[in-house]
């Protein structure tokens, strides 16, 4: 590999790595959102439904 080719590989490599890091951060965020949504759904299920008081 010539020195020019090494520099080109480095420049394109940096771009690919940054995009991949961005995807990894997003994946982490998505799993956090999934967990939080699950917690909220559980919280909502534990609450009395609207109209429960009126019924009795």
Compute the least distance from the CB of residue 50 to another protein, in Å. Answer: 13
Give CA–CA dist 50/47, Å, rounded: 9
Compute the least distance from the CB of residue 55 to another protein, in Å. Answer: 21
Nearer to another protein by C-beta: 24 or 37?
Answer: 37
Q: Residue 43's closest CA among 55, 35, 52, 51?
A: 35
Compute the least distance from the CB of residue 7 to another protein, in Å. Answer: 4
Q: Residue 1's closest CA among 17, 13, 15, 18?
A: 13
Binding site for another protein (CB under 8 A): 2-5, 7-8, 10-12, 14-15, 18-19, 22, 26, 29-30, 33, 36-37, 40, 43-44, 47
């Amino acid at each position: 590999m010539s020195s020019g080719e090494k520099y080109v590989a480095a420049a394109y490599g940096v771009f690919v790595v940054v995009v991949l890091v961005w995807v990894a951060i997003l994946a982490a965020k998505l799993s956090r959102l999934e967990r939080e949504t699950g917690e909220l759904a559980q919280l909502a299920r534990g609450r009395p439904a609207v109209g429960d008081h009126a019924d009795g």
